[in-house]
Structure 1
Amino acid sequence: MRVLMTGGYGCIGSWVTMQLIEGGHEVAILDLRRDTHRLELLLDSEQLERVRFIPGDVTDPSLVREAAEQFGATQLLHLAALQVPLCRADPIKGALVNVVGTLAVFETARALKDQISRVVYASSAAVHGPGVPDGAPLADEVRLTPMTHYGAYKVCNELNARVYWLDHGISSIALRPWTVYGVGRDFGMTSEPTKAIKAVAAGRNYAISYGGLQDLQYVGDVAAAFVRALDAPFEGADAFNVRGDVVSIETFVSTFESVVPDAKGRVTHGSNQLPIAPSLDESRLQAQLGPLPRTSLDQGIAETYQRFSSLREQGRLDLSDL
């Protein structure tokens, strides 16, 4: 595969890049500026040299198309987005990046239909509202009731993707991650569990600001789902929930303490439930693309803590997000 990726310098994008490089694929990242600090946490210098950087703004359709043509992209992976806090602060800018940017990617796929086989893009669990009172898992195809601008933009993208399939036959797969955790997750509403692990690795305490149930998904598993979506047999336009370990924040803390005894008493949490359904049904995703990997919560926490500890020992643990 020759994958042109937007948002490739983010957390999920960095892990996807690592997995694609390890799989022998070619990767180009389209972004406003070259920022490899997350990639450097995962790739060695030789691997990093294999990642091509193409400067450009995802909201400019002509630049996205030019990048795809020059690179000879066979698949487009669209991960670029402004997160919940930034969309709340500036809804117009949020729509420009999150909606217009997505349209630019699909316009590129339409213009280069003979070259590009598929668009894969990041939606979000934020397309769902707070869920049902009994906490039953929500299916992919329930009525979507987002409670943030960010979630509303993701719904818009899913609907536009369907229109591109109906009007132009552009195949696309959207994945809806929830709380992704792991090295490189340093920003966004649900980055706090990762920051708690990092803080303890640095010998600090951390207070998670919310509580309640949350779906914790190890970043390596989420990246693997995106990689699978790029070349698995598929036609159409569909969006799929992604599921990890649905547990309370209290359980996350107690699991962390059992895996890392040094975490005992260092992590506290609030009580407010985030306004997104805590439990999503991913049975359609597993049927379409599965079986997909599932890292257990204790294993994911252990691997994340070990990676952060190794970075600390190397003097490379960035604490600017804490």
Structure 2
Amino acid sequence: MRTLVTGGGGFIGAWILRALAQEGFTPVVLDRAEDRSKVREIAGRDFADSLEWVTADIADTRAVVDAARGCERIVHLAGLLTPACKADPVLGAQVNLIGTLNAFLAARAHGMPSVIYMSSAGVFGPDGGPEPHPTTLYGAYKLASEHSARAFREDHGIASIGFRPYVVYGPGRDGGLSAGPTLACRAAARGEAYTMPITGPFDMIHVADVAAAFLAAVRMPLDDAHVVNLLGHPTTADDVVAAIGRAVPGARIDRAGDPLPIACPTSDATLDRLFPDWRPISVEDGLRATIDFYRGQE
């Protein structure tokens, strides 16, 4: 099955591309740049260089529709993170909201039954309420995208799943405020000091689990516009520092700064129903695997 992956040149995209190919899918990448370095890092040079790659702007409707021709599914990942949306709100809306609309318009144009897309726990604010209440532009755009997905289901019969992970970590993560745990693993593997720029509690999920969820969703026969809080394990910045210290005795890892401005739910009925066998990698094991990856690069 040919599957268009928007934003496939990024960290999570590289893991999803590898997972799709390993299961016999034919991924096609749409990204704003012809930069395959992240895919090479995660999946190898031969795989990265063999990919069909379309360089285009996710905000360009015609380009996205053209790139999706011949594909049967769309995995929509393209987006700008919180700092970029804050710095340029209009660009953030063009990429995160208009880009999502374009993914659904491409699915409509080519008669696809569903779209699998990346939302975010950023739709929640710091109040810890069960309903989304974003306090960032990034979260606002993601929440608007979820509502747009429901409208496409109502108006055009296109089903979907939007995934809301919180802190995604693992080999290749190097951008965004919540990259701290991964950068700490990389520093520990190299014998370097590092201070994570976040404190407090958060949910943390290994990128391999995120890729597995997307792969399962691509295969699912969907009949609704689902949104899933993609939960890993609740942890804290102190727990991360301690776990890295157990994996690398003497590691010079610390944490500072403010807590992340998000308090997301700790359970999700839709996750339990659609993914009854969901068993994410433990934080301890995931951090060790990440450290081992970076040790292997030395």
Could you tell me the TM-score, scaled by structure 1's length? Answer: 0.89
Specify the alignment match of 1:319 in structure 2.
Answer: none
Q: Provide closer, same or farther for how the CA distance between residues 125 and 254 of structure 1 changes in structure 2, counting only shifts above 3 A.
A: same
Q: Provide closer, same or farther for how the CA distance between residues 279 and 160 of structure 1 changes in structure 2, counting only shifts above 3 A.
A: closer
Residue of 283, 291, 294 corresponding to 1:297:
283
Q: Provide closer, same or farther for how the CA distance between residues 214 and 249 of structure 1 changes in structure 2, counting only shifts above 3 A.
A: same
| Matched-pair contact (CA < 8 Å) for 1:30–1:53 | yes
Residue of 105, 122, 136 corresponding to 1:107:
105
Q: Say whether 1:232 aligns with 2:220.
A: yes
Residue of 133, 138, 141 corresponding to 1:145:
133
Report the 3-state secondary structure (helix = DSSP H, G, I; strand = E; otherwise coil) of the residue aligned with 1:190. helix
Q: CA-to-partner distance for each residue in 1:171-212, whole Å, 9 max, x for gaps? A: 111000100001111101201111111111122101112211
Distance 1:50 1:290 in 2: 35
Q: Say whether 1:15 aligns with 2:15.
A: yes
| Matched-pair contact (CA < 8 Å) for 1:215–1:279 | no
Residue of 153, 165, 184 corresponding to 1:177:
165
Alpha-carbon shift at residue 292 of structure 1 (Å): 2.7
Q: Which amino acid aligns with 2:71?
A: A
| Matched-pair contact (CA < 8 Å) for 2:177–2:198 | no
Specify the alignment match of 1:76 in structure 2.
Answer: 74
| Matched-pair contact (CA < 8 Å) for 2:64–2:102 | yes
Matches within 5 A, 1:172-321: 172-263=160-251, 266-270=252-256, 272-312=258-298
Alpha-carbon shift at residue 274 of structure 1 (Å): 1.3
Q: CA-to-partner distance for each residue in 1:111-153, whole Å, 9 max, x for gaps? A: 111xx22101000000011143xxxxx6xxx431001000000
Distance 1:90 1:227 in 2: 32
Q: Which amino acid aligns with 1:311?
A: Q
Specify the alignment match of 2:32 in structure 1.
Answer: 32
- RMSD, aligned CA: 1.4
Residue of 99, 106, 113 corresponding to 1:117:
113
| Matched-pair contact (CA < 8 Å) for 1:214–1:279 | no
**Count of aligned pairs:** 298
Residue of 158, 164, 177 corresponding to 2:146:
158
Q: Which amino acid aligns with 2:18?
A: M
Specify the alignment match of 1:89 in structure 2.
Answer: 87
Q: Say whether 1:60 aligns with 2:46.
A: no
Alpha-carbon shift at residue 47 of structure 1 (Å): 2.4
Q: Provide closer, same or farther for how the CA distance between residues 3 and 293 of structure 1 changes in structure 2, counting only shifts above 3 A.
A: farther
Distance 2:211 2:274 in 1: 16
Alpha-carbon shift at residue 44 of structure 1 (Å): 2.8
Distance 1:164 1:290 in 2: 27
Alpha-carbon shift at residue 110 of structure 1 (Å): 1.3
Alpha-carbon shift at residue 246 of structure 1 (Å): 0.6
Distance 1:232 1:203 in 2: 43
Q: Percent identity?
A: 36
Distance 1:248 1:308 in 2: 22
Could you tell me the TM-score, scaled by structure 2's length? Answer: 0.96
Distance 1:49 1:24 in 2: 17
Distance 2:25 2:243 in 1: 36
| Matched-pair contact (CA < 8 Å) for 1:224–1:292 | no
Specify the alignment match of 1:41 in structure 2.
Answer: 41
Q: Which amino acid aligns with 2:44?
A: D
Unpaired segments of 5 or more residues in structure 2? none
Unpaired segments of 5 or more residues in structure 1? 133-137, 313-322
Which runs of structure 1 show a deviation greater than 4 angstroms over 4 or more consecutive aligned residues? none
Q: Which amino acid aligns with 2:125?
A: G
Distance 1:172 1:279 in 2: 21
Q: Which amino acid aligns with 1:274?
A: L
Q: Provide closer, same or farther for how the CA distance between residues 33 and 272 of structure 1 changes in structure 2, counting only shifts above 3 A.
A: closer
